[in-house]
């Protein structure tokens, strides 16, 4: 589904809409209902300022400075200083798609109407997004409690004419980027700085894009496994509906259905000629594809449910409840829900890569590939074929073993021990994003090996397998002698990222 404009009401944003804004250039706008709710909470804030009501972050300092009362004539300085002092991120910047997702998600959280920010301020944030003013946001520096303070502050800095941004491919000071886009900076009023930089939007932006990509990986993994089954003339019985009807995990049944569809019409699967006549069972990396891939799919589905909830939640502090005429200082900014599922997603995706590498090893090993040449080379010895492609898959899988260490299992106190338990959710999300990129290339290696193996058989594979090989051959020619393999791997990885394989399973 294509989206030209995504309407934000704080309650109904979908993963697909967020990806469309982040990567496909869809625009975003506030709904009338959201503006009305935001106006009510803003009215409450302005009354609190007039009445000198003690409200954390509105008429007081932040963190360990919570008991410092701020004079009314310094409230603008308080909000501006909050943003500038919290711009402490380091390292390489997040890519534009992550930054765009962050801006969108922050606007949607504010649209719920519990943050006390002016409509005009959020509108200017969306103006930046729609104009393509992308703040430079360093990826490191968030511990994931009090939200993603540093990353979100780097976005807010450009909103007030500070920081750095890219505009039309050029990096420049934030104020200049706004001017180039014919936008004016915002002067933050009471409560607005803390409304902009309290929240889980960095970890959630990275996470939802990783989730989207993981769903594409799950489809590619099923396709790759079916091609390998064809190439080694594997057996179809492990994919029978009878088998999966007695173990009631939905992902498992779906994967088995995918494999059956892919191999339908095959003259390779279940072959009993020559070298395969005495094979009773396939190895686990083939026989247990539904169980392994299916478990990852069920895990991915759980992550989708959690992230869909998170992107439609109010995650800043304090929260304004104008109907009750109160402000509550609480902890919705804590990233634990996202942190845990990001570690979970990383593990689920890493398993797709782990089992895929074992299938690539099987394909390239003449002792286990049922009569295919060693390393699928045309002239073994003179040529190395796909030998080193499997090394690459092995290296990436081994790297993932380090990256799956759970970031959410750690905590370190900040703000003079006021913030004494933190989530590390942004680290978990960043690690998972790297795992996804690694597994995409691991699966690309298997698709290259398996398509080569099927073609060497010179016998008709299943109808789905034929479509998958045709998709690969649009970008990568058949291996006719040794050549550089890196471009081939990257091209197939790009096909996966672009969703070119997903339709084959439908």
Which residues lie below 8 Å from residue 398, measured CB to CB, with a gap of 6+?
none
Residue 320, H or E segment: strand 319-321
Q: Are 478 and 279 contacting, i.e. CB atoms less than 8 angstroms apart?
A: no
Locate all alpha helices (DSSP H) within 458-485, ordered by sequence.
463-473
**Active-site pick, 56, 167, 284, 328:** 56
Tell which residue, 80, 102, 100, has the closest CA to residue 23.
100
Q: Give the whole-angstrom CA distance, residue 173 versus residue 177.
A: 6
Cis amide linkage into residue 399, ω under 30° from 0: no
Determine the angle formed by the axes of helices 486-497 and 425-457, rounding to 10 degrees.
110
Q: Give the whole-angstrom CA distance, residue 497 versus residue 221.
A: 12
Q: What single-letter DSSP state applies at residue 374?
A: G
Q: Are 292 and 355 contacting, i.e. CB atoms less than 8 angstroms apart?
A: yes
Which residues lie below 8 Å from residue 354, measured CB to CB, with a gap of 6+?
397, 400
Report the DSSP pairing between strands 319-321 and 164-167: unpaired
Q: Give the whole-angstrom CA distance, residue 114 versus residue 110.
A: 7
Q: Are 97 and 139 contacting, i.e. CB atoms less than 8 angstroms apart?
A: no
- 56 classed as catalytic: yes
Q: Give the whole-angstrom CA distance, residue 492 versus residue 498.
A: 10
- Residues with active-site annotation: 56
């Amino acid at each position: 589904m294509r989206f030209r404009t995504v309407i934000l009401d704080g309650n109904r944003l979908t993963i697909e809409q967020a990806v469309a804004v982040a990567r496909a250039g869809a625009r975003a706008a506030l709904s009338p209902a959201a503006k009305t709710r935001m106006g009510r909470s803003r009215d409450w804030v302005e009354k609190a300022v007039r009445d000198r009501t003690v409200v954390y972050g509105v008429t007081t300092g932040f963190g360990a400075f919570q008991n410092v009362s701020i004079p009314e004539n310094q409230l603008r300085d308080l909000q501006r200083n909050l943003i500038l002092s919290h711009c402490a991120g380091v390292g390489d910047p997040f890519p534009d798609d992550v930054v765009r997702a962050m801006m969108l998600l922050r606007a949607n959280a504010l649209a719920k109407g519990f943050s006390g920010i002016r409509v005009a301020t959020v509108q200017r944030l969306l103006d930046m997004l729609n104009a393509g003013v992308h703040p430079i946001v360093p990826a490191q520096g968030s511990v994931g409690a009090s939200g993603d303070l540093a990353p979100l502050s780097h976005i807010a800095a450009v909103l007030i004419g500070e920081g750095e941004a890219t505009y039309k491919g050029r990096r420049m000071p934030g104020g200049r980027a706004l001017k180039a886009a014919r936008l004016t900076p915002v002067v933050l009023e009471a409560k607005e700085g803390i409304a902009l930089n309290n929240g889980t939007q960095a970890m959630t932006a990275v996470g939802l894009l990783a989730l989207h990509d993981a769903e594409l990986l799950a489809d590619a993994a099923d396709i790759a496994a079916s091609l390998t089954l064809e190439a080694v003339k594997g057996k179809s019985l492990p994919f029978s509906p009878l088998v999966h009807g007695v173990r009631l995990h939905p992902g498992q049944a779906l994967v088995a259905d995918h494999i059956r569809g892919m191999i339908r019409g095959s003259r390779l699967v279940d072959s009993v000629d020559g070298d395969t006549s005495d094979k009773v069972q396939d190895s686990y990396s083939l026989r247990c594809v539904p169980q392994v891939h299916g478990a990852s799919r069920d895990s991915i589905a759980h992550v989708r449910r959690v992230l869909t909830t998170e992107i439609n939640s109010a995650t800043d502090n304090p929260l304004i409840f104008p109907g009750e005429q109160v402000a509550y200082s609480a902890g919705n900014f804590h990233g634990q829900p996202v942190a845990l599922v990001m570690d979970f997603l990383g593990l689920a995706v890493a398993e797709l890569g782990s089992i895929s590498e074992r299938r690539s090893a099987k394909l390239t090993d003449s002792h286990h590939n049922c009569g295919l040449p060693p390393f699928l080379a045309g002239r073994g010895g003179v040529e190395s074929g796909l030998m080193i492609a499997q090394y690459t898959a092995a290296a990436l899988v081994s790297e993932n073993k380090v990256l799956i260490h759970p970031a959410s299992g750690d905590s370190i106190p900040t703000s003079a021990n006021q913030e004494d338990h933190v989530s590390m959710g942004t680290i978990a999300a960043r690690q998972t994003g790297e795992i996804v990129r690694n597994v995409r290339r691991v699966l690309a290696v298997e698709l290259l090996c398996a398509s080569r193996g099927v073609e060497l058989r010179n016998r008709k594979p299943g109808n789905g397998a034929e479509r998958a090989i045709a998709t690969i051959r649009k970008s990568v020619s058949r291996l006719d002698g040794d050549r550089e393999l890196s471009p081939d791997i990257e091209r197939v990885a790009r096909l996966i990222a672009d969703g070119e394989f997903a339709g084959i399973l439908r």
